[in-house]
Amino acid sequence: MTYFADVAALTRKDLKVELRARDTLPAMLLFVLSTLVVFRFALPEGTSDAAAYGLLWVAIVFTALLGLARAWVPEQEHGVLDGLVLAPCDRSAIWFGKTLATLAFLVAAQVVALPAFVLFFAPLDPTALAGVALADVGICAVGSLMAAMAAAGRARELLLPLLVLPLAVPLVVGGVGAAISPDGERYLLLLALYDGVFAVLSWASFEYVVTE
Amino acid sequence: MGLAILLALFVAPEDADQGVSQRIFYIHVPIALTAYFCFGLGAWKALLLLWRGDERYDLESYVAIHHGTIFGVLTLVTGSLWAKASWGVWWLWSENQLVLFLVLFLFYCAYFMLRFSLEEGPRRARSSAVYALFGVALIPVSFLAIRLAEDFIHPTVFTRDGPQMTATMFTAFCVTWAAVTLLAYVLYRVELAGKRLDADLRELREALQ
């Protein structure tokens, strides 16, 4: 159980840092809202709702990328990551904590963004919301590993979207499918499968990415 | 390889409703299978690297993925030509194999970006290996996703009842497949030898200085 205590401590640390500095969350919120407004003008009058759902997914993926790009910045700036790697806890707990913290930011941004979407564009049914929740888990799990990988590189802000976007294609297929398809449950299954496969893979491989 | 081209072009009977354009099948499908094979090999070497920690797997994995990407480009080009010939368009989003290949192609391009952005060393080797492993997990998942999101337009050649081809067509197909795999293998060995020579030379030069 010490593993989960470690995870909880790491998540709490990230949330506390964000609460004090307020770097990431306001940026994500503002970004997702302005994207939705831009999309309002990008869509011609009388476009079907299906197109709006597609744009919602573009907004979600890019907002998540924005959050993920900031995810390891505090660790990088103060050399915290080296300390964490040396700490007597399982390294995958670092990934777990970061994933939970990023997930919290993304969900917080969506708590504002989804009602705004309903207000501006089209209604969301429970299946679509379940799709959003499942895809959030997937993108944060994969994204926090990729962000850790990109953070070691020379062009980290540039690298992260390139690494994550091809991996996010199944999530977008699943999310849009859950929103517009009459039998959305199949798409939810796909998303759950994606979450399972990639969360385990990220969890298992994080240690290799951060150790020297 | 020559024999394979001969077989594909002249011996195999023409498909009744696709005509001469169908002959590209003998090149396209083996190249695509070889590209998958290269990606698989790259991921296998990546797994070995993470497991055993031997640095030589890093180069092998990289070279395999490099060739997978080259064959991937060829697959996209031949597939696109075939699409133009038989459906009259260069690109079809409803064509799941092409879309899957495009996603994979983007993914492996990002692999190269990652590799060239990190400092050389064990950490780069391990990060690349992890990313390569994500690639093989991505193949079935995105295949499922794309299949869910499309209507079936691609001719499914291999079904559960075995290949839907006549004997000569099947022979020609197997020969081209073997030839392309052999070509990929030779390229793989050549590049590996070249890269190893490079590394040895660099070490020697550093030792001399």
Q: How does pLDDT run across B144-168, given as a tens digit for each residue?
A: 887 776 543 344 444 444 455 666 6
A163 CB-side CA count, 13 A: 34
For chain B, the residue count is: 209
* Cα separation, B5 vs A169, whole angstroms: 36
- Model confidence pTM above 0.90: no
pLDDT value at position A103? 94
Cα–Cα distances (Å) from B141 to A134, B103, B137, in that order, read 15, 12, 7
CB of B137 within 8 Å of any CB in chain A? yes
Q: Tell me, what DSSP letter sits at residue B11?
A: I
Q: Do B117 and A153 touch (CB under 8 A)?
A: yes
Interface test with B, best of A163, A169, A188, A210 (most B CBs within 10 A): A169
Distance of CA B7 to the CA centre of its chain: 22
Which residues on A lie below 8 Å from B117 (Cβ)? 150, 153-155, 159
> Which residue in this structure is represented by tokens 């698989």?
B40
- ipTM metric: 0.80
Phi and psi angles of residue A24, each rounded to the nearest 5 degrees, phi first: -90, -55
For residue range B119-141, list pLDDT tens digits in order: 888 888 888 888 888 988 888 88
* Cα separation, A15 vs B30, whole angstroms: 51
Answer yes or no: are the C-beta atoms of A99 and A210 closer than 8 Å: no
Using alpha carbons, select from B101, B144, B135 the residue that is nearest to residue A167.
Answer: B135
Answer yes or no: are the C-beta atoms of B65 and B132 closer than 8 Å: yes
CB of B120 within 8 Å of any CB in chain A? no
* Cα separation, A161 vs A173, whole angstroms: 18
Using alpha carbons, select from B132, B109, B107, B105 the residue that is nearest to residue B40.
Answer: B132
- Number of Cβ within 10 Å of residue B59's Cβ equals 18
What's the mean pLDDT when you consider all of chain A? 87
B17 pLDDT more than 50: no
CB of B145 within 8 Å of any CB in chain A? yes
For residue range B67-115, list pLDDT tens digits in order: 888 888 888 888 888 777 777 667 766 566 777 888 888 898 888 888 8
Which helix H or strand E contains B55, and what residues bound it?
none
